Every structure is written in C-alpha cells, then in structure tokens.
Structure 1
C-alpha cells in the first residue's frame, strides 16, 4: 500500500475501528479476570485486558499511520511524575495518539459495567479527534474539532442547569492517596450539600462523555492523566461545554486537576472548589 493511500485513511474511521475492536476484546474477557496484577495500590488494578486492548489499538494505528507518535497508559510507570514525563517526551509531535485502553479497569475487574476505551488524536498538542467507546452499552461518543460531538450518530449538547443546586455532578476517588485523595475528599465534602447530587462511577472518560451528552452537569477530579482526559475534553468542548484546570487554566494536554461543566455553572463550581 502506498503512502498516499495510507495518508488518505480518515483519522476518525481508524479511531472508530480501533475503539470497536478493542471494545470487542474487552467484552470477550468480561468474567475472566483470574489474571490480576496490582499496580501502584490495591485500588488501581490492572489486567491483561489493558495490555491486550492497548496492543491492538497501537498496532492498528501504526499500520495506518506509521509516522504518528503514540502515548498509551500501559507503557508508563504509575504516579504523576512518570505521567508528566511521558507526556513531555511526545507532546510536541506533529500527530500524537493518546490512548487509555480501558478507562475504569477497577470497574471491569469487579464486573461493574462502567468502563470505556478512550482514543484521542492531537495535532501539535491540540486535540482534533476524540472517541470514547462504552462497549457494555455499545455507545460510541465522537468529536472532531469544529464539527460537533455525537453519540450513536446524534448530535450532543451539554445540559442547561443554571446553578449548582440544580446540578448532578460527578467526581472520582484518586488512586494517589497521599495528597490527591484527601484534596478530592475535602472538595466532595464541601460540594455535596450544594448540588442536587454527586456520582462517582469510576471512569473519567465516561464522566466527560456524560457531561458532553448532558447526562451530568459537571465532573471534577484531582489528578487524572492525559490519557483519561484527552478524548473526553474534546467531546465536552464540541458539545458546548467548558473544560480546564481547577485553577482556571483552559484545557491543554498537561491538565490534571480537571473541571468540566456545561459552562453555565463553571465559575460557581470553580469558586467552590477553590474554597476547599
């Protein structure tokens, strides 16, 4: 196959193909979790499924786009320093695929049906394509920069709640227990009485997709990685929402303390998080 033909392959078509193949692989392993390896802490389980899913995605991408760069969760040591270093090494690449092969491995291991494949493509550090695929529900969320965001082929829009007290918001419980978890818990304690309710379902990528789809008014968390957020960030932006760092910095690949909202409650929520 000539470079020309390879070059004309649509980024979105390849990403969708990768997500669906990886989703099939993941679903074939549901219930077969005898092989468990622990990574970082008992709360951060990783399985052979992660490795198989990432290998599959990486090989499909490299087959189609051999000159592109690739950042996946599996090659990176646990912890924020290693994550930051891994991103630093590749973030200036012309084309960089950023992949979380299974976001929500702990859920997967326990048979809790909330996990996703997250695939993003960045061009010179800016995300131009994002796919989040929930294989359990067979829901594919996709956004291309400037073209809107879609789920099951329907255009997505963020929710319209105007205030925190009307809002359903999501957060996470960070696997890093020294500083990230206590900070997140302090924020949770402060916010719980001020919103309609809070959910914590264990997948940053799906939480972001749900903000984009209008199913959640907002999602915040201390410390998720670039591969947890990159695809979902574009989904939120292309659905009319806002995403950035909790300190107010607009979204970039290095953002870790994430805040994503429908836009209407962004400033209010950001101010409350700052109090914690």
Structure 2
C-alpha cells in the first residue's frame, strides 16, 4: 500500500474512532448528570475521597469497557492526576469527572473527557459537558469542533484587551508552585484586561479553542487536564507552549495555551 493510501486509511479509522469515543463519553456524562443536583455533604478527607471515587466509578463503568473495545491494544492511564511521558504505544487518557469537586458542590463546571494518545501525542479527544449537552472534539489534522461546528481561537493581538484564565492543578500543591501561581496572577492582573481563576483547566481550554477567552496558563498539572485542551486549542489555530514560551510536553512544569496574537506577550508576562 502506498504512503498516501496508508495515511488515508489511518485518518478514516481515527475519524470513526472519534465518533465512537464521543458516544461513550456522552453516555458516561448522562450517568453523572443523573447523580448531579444537591450538594454532597462530607466532613472528613476520607468522606470527600469516597464521594469523588463514587462519581469516577460511575463514569468508568461505562468508559473503560467501551474504550477498551474500540482500541483493545491501547493502555489505560489509571491515575487522572499522573503527569510526565507515557510509555511507547497508544494510551487512553481519561478523566471520568473533570471538575469532580464542582459536581459534588452542585456547581456546573464539570465534564467527562477521553483522549487517545499515540507515541506521546494526542490523536483525538472528546470533552462533553453534560449539563449543557455540548461536545467538543478534535482530531489531529482535522480541526476542532463544537457539536460539529468548527472552532477558531480569538484574533486578539493585545494582551491588555484580553480575558485570560488560570487553574489550580491539584489540591495540596507544593508551596513553591502555589507562590508561583500567586505571582503569575498578580502579573496578569497588571497586564491583561480580566483574569479568571477556577477549576477545572479543561473548561478554560475549550473557551480558548472557541475564541471566548484569549489565553490560559497553569503551573504543574496532569495529562488528563491538559492533553484534551492542548489538542483542541492547537487544532483551533492556537499556540501551545510552557509558560516561558518553550515547546510544551507532558513533562513540562508549566503550560500556556493562547491565541497567536497574544501568545508571546502572555509568555513574557508569565516569565517575569
């Protein structure tokens, strides 16, 4: 088979895989939506962790068998807070309840995500927001979409006119990272128009891909909260790097996604 035919076959296969992945993610989202409503009470860390695990288990009971059937040879990332490079081959990187703590607090900012990573590069991703019914998808080389409509990052060229956002990567973060986050927020408050701070990262990143906000950054982080948005933003025409403007990989200690017109200025602000 010629190289052209091989490439076409892979693209067709991946496009179909994206469609089937979206079905699985939406189904898991429906199960989580059925659990959403009242604030979930907890008094101890153990009670909190059990409540978080109950949501994860609900979604994973649907996602794991469905995605394993689609790609039996792919590995599965067990810990959604893991970072760093993956071993060779294909891997499913899944966050069964992205923004899980928001779900427990009856806040609307949560999602279900699934990303297929091939040789440490995201190939396809699905981000579903069960409360709105929105599904964001991206396929390498085929663009980013919201419910089938193409997404494009903003055309803003002035950080001073930009809405930017950041997120807390995980609870109990190292003090050095926490202080770096605080300094970066202060710098952005001086240079940008508006700074938004909330969790989870993925919901900021879909807004960057859709052109609603102009830049997002985060220090530290996990594959599951950055890979879906990284592919969405890249396929929507945005730029991805670390906070200093260097190439980003899952091993990087920081992350920046921005519209091309403000990326350099945002990196400069974060490097101060």
> Structure 2 length normalisation: TM-score?
0.86
C-alpha deviation, 1:234, in angstroms: 0.5
Residue equivalent to 1:169: 164
Q: Contact 1:114/1:201 (CA < 8 Å) preserved in 2?
A: no
> What is the CA deviation profile of residues 142-196 of structure 1, one whole-angstrom value per residue up to 9, with x for unaligned ones?
0100001100211000011111111001111342152222211111011112211
Residue equivalent to 1:15: 21
Residue equivalent to 2:90: 95
C-alpha deviation, 1:33, in angstroms: 5.8
Find 1:121's aligned residue among 116, 120, 144. Answer: 116
Structure 2 Cα separation of the partners of residues 34 and 231 of structure 1: 27
Structure 2 Cα separation of the partners of residues 73 and 133 of structure 1: 20
Find 1:138's aligned residue among 133, 148, 162. Answer: 133
Q: After TM superposition, list the pairs within 5 Å mapping 1:3-42 onto structure 2.
A: 10-31=16-37, 34=40
SS state at 2:18 partner = helix
C-alpha deviation, 1:219, in angstroms: 0.5
Residue equivalent to 2:176: 179
Q: Contact 1:210/1:216 (CA < 8 Å) preserved in 2?
A: yes
Structure 2 Cα separation of the partners of residues 124 and 114 of structure 1: 31
Structure 2 Cα separation of the partners of residues 142 and 250 of structure 1: 23
Residue equivalent to 1:49: 55
Residue equivalent to 2:99: 104
Q: After TM superposition, list the pairs within 5 Å mapping 1:61-80 onto structure 2.
A: 61-73=67-79
Aligned CA-pair RMSD: 2.5
Residue equivalent to 1:235: 232
Q: Contact 2:17/2:70 (CA < 8 Å) preserved in 1?
A: no
> Structure 1 length normalisation: TM-score?
0.85
Q: Contact 2:126/2:138 (CA < 8 Å) preserved in 1?
A: yes
| Structure 1: tracts of 5 or more residues without a match | 1-7, 77-82
Between the two proteins, the alignment pairs up a number of residues equal to: 257
